[in-house]
Copies of this chain bind each other. A is one copy, B any other.
Amino acid sequence: MLLCDVGNTSYHFFDGVRDYRAAAASFDPAQIDEQVFYINVNPKLEAILAASGWVDLGLHVSKQGYYETIGIDRLVACEAAGDGLIVDVGSAITVDLMEQGCYKGGFIYPGIEAMRRAYAQLSSRLDYAFNFDIDLDKMAFNSQDAVSYGFLAPLCAEVARHDARVILTGGDAHRLLPYFKTAQHDPLLIFKGMQKIINEAALC
């Protein structure tokens, strides 16, 4: 049995021991023989996944307490965490607040590559890779640090404002970990939530 979290950039698999990724643009679900339970937020892959024979866990989840258009990945991570501020760092960075099992809302921030591209499209003078060694206690004194600080500091300030336990997850979580010193890093949070749905719906 495999679990798969399908996003806008990649298929993220977990076989119970290790997790690995395949590119969303080129991977063919038909090449897997095992039973796969999946969730998907990528509208471009809906048809191919519906025809794959994989089991869509999104059909076994209640959105009660959440909102209708919330990404299934966010909901599943929230269910797995139960409490705290869940920061999922992928193509987009989603931030969701759970208090004693109740959803308290969230927000979406562009991910590392989306934000880098936003700066590059604004001006060739802002086309930099982010510097992940900057000190957010000092404002920037060069262009690369000015965009790096502009990406990191507002997000960190907003997360800190909620004064909640922070759980970092997602493919790029390790890049932000140094800026969330008290955060718990749980790269497999989404799969814990998927397993919980499978158990509750007695699918396996």
**Considering only CB atoms and an 8 Å cut-off, how many residues of chain A contact the other chain?**
50
Taking the nearest CB of chain B, how far is it from the CB of A36, in angstroms? 22
Cβ contact of A105, chosen from B42, B70, B71, B139, cutoff 8 A: B139
Contact code string A125-155 (vs B, CB < 8 Å = 1, else 0): 1100000000000111111001101100111
* Cβ-based interface call for A100 (8 A): no
Contact yes or no, B124 A154, CB < 8 A: no
Contacts of A149 in B (CB 8 A): 107
Contact yes or no, B109 A154, CB < 8 A: yes
Give 10 closest A-B pairs by Cβ, nearest first: A105-B139, A154-B154, A157-B157, A118-B118, A107-B149, A154-B158, A107-B150, A157-B158, A69-B143, A110-B118
